[in-house]
Amino acid sequence: MFDDLIREVRQLERRQTISVPLPEDKEGYVDRQCPGAKCKAEFKVLGKDWDSKVANARAYCPVCRNEAPSDDWATPAQVKYVEAVALAHLKRQLHGALESGARQFNQRQRPGLLTFSLSVTPDTTPVFLPRAVGEVMRQRFTCERCQCSYSSIGAAFFCPACGHNSVLTTFVQTLETVRNTVAALPSIRQAMDADPDAAHNAVRLLLEQSMGRLVGAFENYAEELFASVPTAPHAKAKRGSFQRLDEASRLWQEAVGKGYQDLLSPQEMAGLVRFVQQRHLLTHANGIVDADYLTKSADRTYSICQRIVIREADVLTLADLLAKLANALKALSAPPPPQP
Ligand SMILES: [Zn+2]
Ligand SMILES: [Zn+2]
């Protein structure tokens, strides 16, 4: 009388793969998360583009360009979902008779059972935002090379399907996203008013991240634009040149006859230097003011060992400064109009 059951169990002992379609949002996008241990960026890809354009080979992280097999991009919630579906599938196969055995089996055999890697670990520093607020900050992209549609909260540089780097268009989108983020801060505070500490922390992180995104997107933009100028001294542009304001400015001076200080007023230039130094502190010194910062930024409002405070106005001012600089560089890089 146990023959059927034994046959079922034998069948289960062989590895089986079940395909679990991932839930899509109302616009047809699926959640994805970069498997890179340092990145873990979350983004969305149009479900049909993930299936048709990414195929089974490799996908790229839009933020860090990490490459990984297309099965490795499940979010923790999706892993749980797939586990639940797989367990339900097992239960159905066993007619419920060996429920506990199935659970043990599932635990022992998990990697072979699922089409998703289970190596995803939860992000250690999540920022929890109300869903509606996240939607305000979501930026949609369509790859100019392969037309894959994807979206991300904040900057994204690379197409998840083909890895194409679209920094020139991304810079403009980053400005827009950061400005939208700042505009959304009052509603974030309001939505989180039950926990003022958490709200304060979320707003602080968003402002600090926005500053990093702006500077990073501008550096990439300047580097890419410089590479497109035929008369530029390309050999002098080293790795990281565009992350140093003075070096980048000298390169532009040689390429188009004007450096950053020629394109901004002295006051604007001082602001730019200060913001870039603040971003450097946030990235490398957890925002704690050191002697190097005081020298380079000429900022007299802080003393050593204080932590810098990024205000909403700072982020908006920085966005305006970088937009002005980017537009001026673009105009100078354009080929001269044909002679009549
Ligand atoms: Zn990544
Ligand atoms: Zn693409």
Can you say whether residue 30 is alpha, beta or left, with left for phi > 0 and alpha for psi between -120 and 50 degrees?
beta
Distance 60 CA to ligand 1 centre (A): 8
pLDDT band at 96; cut points 50, 70, 90: low
Q: What is the pLDDT of residues 192-217, one digit of tens each?
A: 888 888 888 888 988 998 898 899 88
Ligand nearest to the CA of 142: 2
163-172 core/surface letters (b: 16 or more CB in 10 A; e: else): beebbeebbe
Mean predicted lDDT score pLDDT of the chain: 82
Lowest mean pLDDT among 105-119, 164-178, 237-251: 105-119
Q: How far is the CA of 146 from the centre of ligand 2 (A)?
A: 4
* pLDDT single digits (tens) 23-80: 888 889 999 999 998 889 889 999 999 988 886 678 999 988 899 998 899 998 888 8
Q: Is residue 61 classed as helix, strand or coil in its secondary structure?
A: coil
Tell me the CA–centroid distance for residue 32 and ligand 1, in Å. 10
User: In angstroms, what is the span from residue 157 Cα to ligand 2's centroid?
Assistant: 11
Ligand closest to Cα of 72 equals 1
What is the C-alpha separation between 165 and 157, in angstroms, rounded?
6
How many angstroms separate the alpha carbon of residue 238 from the centre of ligand 2? 27
Ligand 2 centre distance from Cα of residue 229 (Å): 24
Ligand whose nearest atom lies closest to the CA of 39: 1
Task: Measure 42 CA to ligand 1 centroid, in angstroms.
Answer: 8
**pLDDT tops 70 at residue 330:** yes
Q: Is 157 exposed, middle or buried (0-12, 13-18, 19+ CB in 10 A)?
A: buried
When pLDDT is cut at 50, 70 and 90, the band that residue 1 belongs to is low
Residue 258's φ and ψ, nearest 5 degrees, are -140, 135
Cα(157) to centroid(ligand 1), Å = 10
Percentage of the chain beyond pLDDT 70 is 79
- The ligand that comes nearest to the alpha carbon of residue 145 is 2
**pLDDT band, residue 124 (cuts 50/70/90):** very low
Query: How far apart are the CA of 284 and the centre of ligand 1, in A?
Result: 19
Pairing of strands 29-33, 42-46: antiparallel
Band of pLDDT at residue 15, cut at 50, 70 and 90: low
153 CA from centroid of ligand 1 (Å): 13
The rounded Å distance from CA 170 to ligand 2 centre is 13
What pLDDT does 289 receive?
A: 96
Ligand nearest to the CA of 66: 1
The ligand whose atoms approach the alpha carbon of 147 most closely is 2
For 146-179, what is each residue's pLDDT tens digit? 999 998 876 677 899 999 887 777 888 889 888 9
Task: Tell me the DSSP string of 90-117.
Answer: HHHHTTTTTHHHHHHHHHHHHHHH-SS-
Q: What are the residues facing 33 on neighbouring strands? A: 42
- Expressed in angstroms and rounded, the spacing between residue 175 Cα and the centre of ligand 2 is 21
Residue 24 CA to ligand 1 center (angstroms) comes to 21
